[in-house]
Amino acid sequence: MKSQLNPRVFWGASAIIALLLATTLAMPGTADAAFKAAQSWTIDTFGWFYIASVAVFLVVVLTLGFGPAGKLKLGPDDSEPDFPYLSWLAMLFAAGMGIGLMYFAVAEPIQHYISPPEAKSGTILAAREAMAITFHHYGVHAWAIYALVGLSLAYFTYRKGMPLTLRSGLSPILGKRINGPLGDAIDIFAVCGTVFGVSTSLGFGVSQMTAGLAYNYGLPDTITTKIIVIVLVMGAATLSVLSGADRGIRRLSELNLTVAVLLMLFVMAVGPTLFLLRALVQNFGLYLDHFVMRTFTLYAYEPRAWMADWTLFYWAWWIAWSPFVGMFIARISRGRTIREFVIGVLFVPTAFTFLWMTVFGNTAIALDLGPAAGGIADAVQADLSTALFKFLEYLPAAGVTSTLAIALVAIFFITSADSGALVIDTLASGGAEETPRWQRVYWCVLLGVTATLLLVAGGLGALQAATLLAALPFCFIMLMLAIGLVRQTNADLAGITLGDDAPAISERIKRLLVPARRTDIIEQMVRNGEPALKSVYDAMQAEGWTANALTVEEGLIVLTVGSDDASSFVYRLAPRARPLAAYTALEAPEARRSMAWTLAAQANRETKFRDLTGFSADQIASDVLTQLERWRLAGALGAANGIGS
């Protein structure tokens, strides 16, 4: 039962989740009305802000991907990707859009076809507009939201060596304040949003599964059936999350993608194949033709409820989901360049989604106009959960494909739950990627319990509204992530250091103008020197180098490695005075000049001192490790020479 967690984030998030669940369960009707009223006000008031922000996110991601920063790697320059390209894409697809594609592939195009914002309902123009709108909602705008969060997390974690938490991406703006209460609040917010967002999606998934079982096999679509399905699927998700991303989640995602492609190809083959190929090309052309216009459309001159119900709802939903999907994408993207990341995250899933939506959406509209005679539209209006199965009824082998669809939803359910639990555990553990099993099980069980309780109490709508409310403050956080990422990549391209090392730069520039006093150096030793040497000392102790000593006195810090006085490594930090430089021959002789104090470092029996004045704790620790490596190398060479002679 060992733990590796950030107690403030872990317990803070757990308490907030428990409080919101208790409120929703105790007053489901009141909570639902209150959350939905607040959601409507937020979207009506800040709809323009969502639209503008998503446009900014897309521009930033494209600029980073195809600009000079695109060559930078998400890790050291010599790093290689952790996963093969196809496995990586499969995991992106499973985590980002899985259940949504199954639930809405038939339902959304039919809904727009029935009630389009501009065209006349049920016409060819309505069908054309329905597919253009669906492409817009599931296109690059959605994936740009995910890509921005994932890129920020991956860059600051794998290239800058910071924890895999949202706060890391704000370091160029907030500096060391990310390690305090503000950083904890950001991570707590991300944990809560992820739990609620994943739980509501799991609720939709189990509703579709039980509806399919009832529609095809006559099983009762009751709360009891839903609970049994949740228990079975969450059990499988727990086994998957225990095996980690490299095994369980990767294999399930590959299976998921394979089954999804088979189902899509079957529908394409038995459906109106030539029509679908033509429709795909034309849908894409309409998407490009309306791209800029739809990016900024708000119907400001002719207000209509459709905008709040659809586009603004989707943008808020993608933003609310972005901590989860972005974190998961970051975890599986180490070693790729920014350009690879942007192409892989932005365009490949979008292309597959366009093909998927065309195959299912256009086939559904064609069937509804023909043999179904409005039957699919009626099913969508009656119950979205049964729309997919009603659609498959008009194609050959309906029993087989419906069973396959239920299995596919189950696998999407598992991959969403296990990747969600893995992400939440990482956030609650301060960015740790390897954590005790009980922590991963805790979050997996919590997701299942949350989805179950809300289904029982009928609180999924309230929780969905609460999740969308959380999108507004997180939208501001995402804008800060964008600024921090642009600043950091530009600085790295120019060879400039930002973040925690920025104070060191300003300190050294200051000392060029105003010489340091002894008290200034003593203060720096306490603030940066002692923590740096102690961090090295503690790390060596943890790795088994126990024959060490750290001596701290006023004006002297000494790190000793080894017990043999003749061969041990000794690193000293102390103030050292030197006369100010004489710039002309007329200045006072050295003995009568003013003195400047420096933070002097000396390793072993060096005769020269290194001036570390103004160095940060990380820079001092780096100098210690550099000298220690030289000492170890010299010792190894000496031993080799001795053997050779």
**102 conformational bin, left if phi > 0, alpha if psi -120 to 50, beta if neither:** alpha
The DSSP line for 445-503 is HHHHHHHHHHHHHT-HHHHHHHHHHHHHHHHHHHHHHHHHHHHHHHHHHHT---GGGHH
pLDDT at 589: 45
| 599 strand-pairing partners | 575
Strands 610-611 and 556-561: unpaired
Tally Cβ neighbours within 10 Å of residue 285.
11
Q: Where are the domains of the chain?
A: 7-492, 503-644
Give the strands of the sheet with 595-603, arranged side by side.
548-553, 556-561, 569-579, 595-603, 610-611
- For residue 608, the 8-state DSSP code is S
CA torsion 53-54-56-59 (nearest 10°) is: 180
Here the tokens at position 170 are 């704000």
Which of these, 209, 255, 211, lies nearest to 231 by C-alpha position? 209
Burial 166-175 (b: 16+ CB within 10 A, else e): bbbbbbbbbe
Q: 123 — phi, psi (to 5°)?
A: -105, 175
Q: Which residues contact 312 (CB under 8 A, 6 or more apart)?
A: 43, 47, 50, 51
The DSSP line for 508-529 is HHHHHHSPPPHHHHHHHIIIII
Which of these, 567, 548, 545, lies nearest to 559 by C-alpha position? 548
The DSSP line for 63-74 is HHHHSGGGG-BS
- In the three-class reduction of DSSP (H, G, I as helix; E, B as strand; rest coil), residue 403 is classed as helix
Give the angle subtended at the CA of 218 by the CAs of 212 and 224, to the nearest 5°.
75
pLDDT at 265: 93
| 577 strand-pairing partners | 597
Distance CA 97, CA 470 (A): 20
Distance CA 380, CA 211 (A): 13
State the CATH architecture for 7-492: Up-down Bundle (1.20)
Helix ranges, 138-249 (H):
140-154, 171-174, 181-217, 223-243
Distance CA 297, CA 191 (A): 32
Distance CA 389, CA 402 (A): 6
Distance CA 415, CA 328 (A): 11
Residue type present at position 71: K
Which residue has tokens 């072993």? 604
Identify whether the C-beta of residue 475 lies closer than 8 Å to the C-beta of residue 50: yes
pLDDT at 523: 85
Identify whether the C-beta of residue 327 lies closer than 8 Å to the C-beta of residue 75: no
Residue 598 burial by Cβ neighbours in a 10 Å radius (0-12, 13-18, 19+): buried
Taking 3-state DSSP, the helix, strand and coil percentages for the chain, each rounded to the nearest 5, stand at 75, 5, 20
- For residue 164, the 8-state DSSP code is S
Low-confidence residues in the chain, pLDDT < 70: 1-4, 93-99, 243-250, 433, 457-464, 467, 495-514, 563-566, 579-595, 607, 635-645
Identify whether the C-beta of residue 627 lies closer than 8 Å to the C-beta of residue 636: no
Distance CA 368, CA 391 (A): 9
pLDDT at 97: 62
Distance CA 522, CA 529 (A): 9
Which of these, 479, 455, 430, lies nearest to 202 by C-alpha position? 455
Which of these, 614, 534, 533, lies nearest to 571 by C-alpha position? 533
H or E stretch at 421 = helix 398-428
| 558 strand-pairing partners | 551, 572
Identify whether the C-beta of residue 266 lies closer than 8 Å to the C-beta of residue 363: no
